[in-house]
Amino acid sequence: MSKQFVSQIKDRDPVNAVFLVKDKILAMAKNGKPYMNLRLMDKSGDIEAKVWDNTELLDKQFDKDDFVTVRGKASVYMNKMQVVIAEIAKVPEEQVTLADFLPESPRSCDEMRQELIDTVAALGNPHLKGLMEAFLVDEPFLSLYCQAPAAKGMHHVYLGGLLEHSLALVKLVRTIVPLYGGGINEDLLVVGALLHDVGKIFEMSFDRAFDYTDAGKLLGHITIGVELVDEKIRLVEGFPRELALLLKHMLLSHHGQYEYGSPKRPKTIEATILNYLDDMDSKINGIRAHIAKEAASTSRWTAHHRLYDRYFFKCNGMDDEQEVVCVADETSHVEPQAMGEEIVDRKERPAFGNQALKGLENLKLF
C-alpha cells in the first residue's frame, strides 16, 4: 500500500497514514475540555491536526519527533487544511522509511555538490580558493553542509536547503557584479555567499523534525559560522589578515540590521550586496512556499503569513485561463479589500512576538 502524503490530502478526504510529529501541544478548549493540537509532517509538507477525545491518555503514548499512524478526516478551517483525528498510535522507527518524512530540495544532492566544487575551482584568489578547498576536503563538514536546511521555518526549509540557497546567491552575485563595472571583489562575494550561513550545520538538528541545537540556541549560526571560518583560515598559509577581516565582516553583517539579529551592519560594498541578495532570495523562496501550501484553496489570497504580517495575492497574470476563482472565506470576517490593504491595528497587536523580527512589517518586498 502506497503512503498517503500531506500534499495529497484534500478537503473531506479520509486520512489513514503514518506521519512524523513536528509539534505537539496539549491545550484547553473554551468549554474547559482538553484537546491536542499537532503538526504532522512528511517530506511533502506539514499539516495541522486536532485530537478532541481521550487526549490526556493519548498524550502519554507519543511525543514530538515520534512517528504515529493516524486515522481521521481532512477539512478546511480558516482557509487551512487540517485533520480531525479519530485514532492515533506510535509507530516504531524501524517500521518506517525515513526518506518519506523529511522534505528535500528539488535539486539533487550530487548535482549541487558538483556545482559547489566547480564554483570553488573557478575562484581566482588563491587564498579564498585555499579556504574553500579546506572546507571541501573536510568530509564530515561537507556531508552536513549538503544536508542541512537553510532555516527552521522561514525559507528553504528542507534537506539540502542551505546549499541550494548558497548556490543561488552565487548565481545572483555572478549576475549582479558585472552590472556595476569594476571595483567589486567578486571572489570575496562568492565565498561570502557560500559561507554566510555555514554555522547552520551546527545551529540546527535535522535528523528528524528540524529544530535548534543547544549550540544554536546559545550561540546562533552567525557566531558559529565565524568560528568555523576562523578555524579554516588558520589552515591556509599566508592568508591576508585584512581579507580575513572582510570575510568575517560579511558573515557578521549579512542580516543587515541589529533588530534582525545582525551583530554588525554592512560597512563594505560586498557586505551590502550580500545582505540584499540574501534577503531577496530567502523572501522569494519563503513567499512561494507559503503560496504553494495552499494550492487546493480557491481563494485568490493566501492565509495570513505570521512573520511577514500580511496576506499574499496568488495571481500574477501569467495564466488567465486558469484564474483562481475568488470565493468568500466562510471562516474569516476580513473582506478581501482589507486583506489586500493589510489593515491591522498595530497598537493592539504587535506584528511579531520577539525583538529579533521587530520591524519586518516595514520591509518593502516589491
pLDDT (tens digit, 9 = 90+) per residue, 301-341? 988 888 888 999 988 888 655 444 444 443 343 433 333 33
- Verify that 114 and 227 share a domain, yes or no: yes
Contact between 249 and 271 (Cβ < 8 Å): yes
- Verify that 189 and 124 share a domain, yes or no: yes
Position 326 scores a pLDDT of 46
CATH number at residue 45: 2.40.50.140
More confident residue, 137 or 334: 137
The CA distance from 224 to 118, in Å, is: 26
- Verify that 307 and 278 share a domain, yes or no: no
For residue 351, the enclosing domain spans 296-366
If one counts the domains in the chain, the total is 3
Which of 286, 317, 337 represents a domain boundary (last residue)? 286
- The H or E element spanning position 79 is none
Contact between 150 and 162 (Cβ < 8 Å): yes
Return the closest-CA partner of residue 293 out of 108, 121, 59, 103. 103
CA angle 138, 142, 146 (to 5 degrees): 180
- The H or E element spanning position 59 is helix 55-59
Contact between 158 and 105 (Cβ < 8 Å): yes
Give residue-wise pLDDT tens across range 224-255.
Answer: 999 999 999 999 999 999 999 999 999 999 99
- Verify that 126 and 260 share a domain, yes or no: yes
Domain for residue 137, yes or no? Answer: yes
Position 320 scores a pLDDT of 56
Position 107 scores a pLDDT of 92
- The H or E element spanning position 49 is strand 45-51
DSSP state, 177?
A: G
Return the closest-CA partner of residue 61 out of 32, 36, 90. 90
Position 355 scores a pLDDT of 39
326 SS3 class = coil
Position 157 scores a pLDDT of 86
List CB contacts of 323: < 8 A, sequence separation 6 or more.
Answer: 315
* Per-residue confidence band for 1, with pLDDT thresholds at 50, 70 and 90: low
pLDDT higher than threshold 60 for residue 259: yes
Domain for residue 129, yes or no? Answer: yes
Contact between 322 and 74 (Cβ < 8 Å): no
List CB contacts of 198: < 8 A, sequence separation 6 or more.
Answer: 135, 145, 221, 225, 228, 229, 251
DSSP state, 159?
A: B
The CA distance from 120 to 193, in Å, is: 12
Domain for residue 230, yes or no? Answer: yes
- Verify that 137 and 227 share a domain, yes or no: yes
- Verify that 151 and 53 share a domain, yes or no: no
- Verify that 180 and 265 share a domain, yes or no: yes
Domain for residue 291, yes or no? Answer: no
Domain for residue 178, yes or no? Answer: yes
- Verify that 150 and 15 share a domain, yes or no: no
Which of 100, 130, 156 represents a domain boundary (last residue)? 100
Contact between 5 and 13 (Cβ < 8 Å): no
The CA distance from 185 to 188, in Å, is: 5
- The sign of the dihedral angle between the CA atoms of 250, 251, 256, 259 is negative
Position 198 scores a pLDDT of 96
Domain for residue 1, yes or no? Answer: no
Supply 89's cell numbers.
498510535
pLDDT higher than threshold 80 for residue 343: no
Q: Please, what is the angle between helix 139-147 and helix 109-121, to 10°?
A: 120
Give residue-wise pLDDT tens across range 268-281.
Answer: 999 999 999 999 99
* Per-residue confidence band for 155, with pLDDT thresholds at 50, 70 and 90: confident
The CA distance from 205 to 212, in Å, is: 6
- Verify that 144 and 212 share a domain, yes or no: yes
* Per-residue confidence band for 153, with pLDDT thresholds at 50, 70 and 90: confident
Give residue-wise pLDDT tens across range 169-228.
Answer: 999 999 999 999 889 999 999 999 999 999 999 999 888 778 899 999 999 999 999 999
- Verify that 251 and 137 share a domain, yes or no: yes
- Verify that 302 and 269 share a domain, yes or no: no
What integer is the mean pLDDT of 145-153?
A: 89
Question: In the chain, pLDDT over 90 holds for what percent of residues?
Answer: 57
Tally helices (H) and strands (E) across the chain.
Answer: 12, 7
Q: Quote the pTM value.
A: 0.75
- Verify that 266 and 332 share a domain, yes or no: no
pLDDT higher than threshold 70 for residue 55: yes
More confident residue, 119 or 340: 119
Domain for residue 312, yes or no? Answer: yes
Which of 58, 80, 100 represents a domain boundary (last residue)? 100
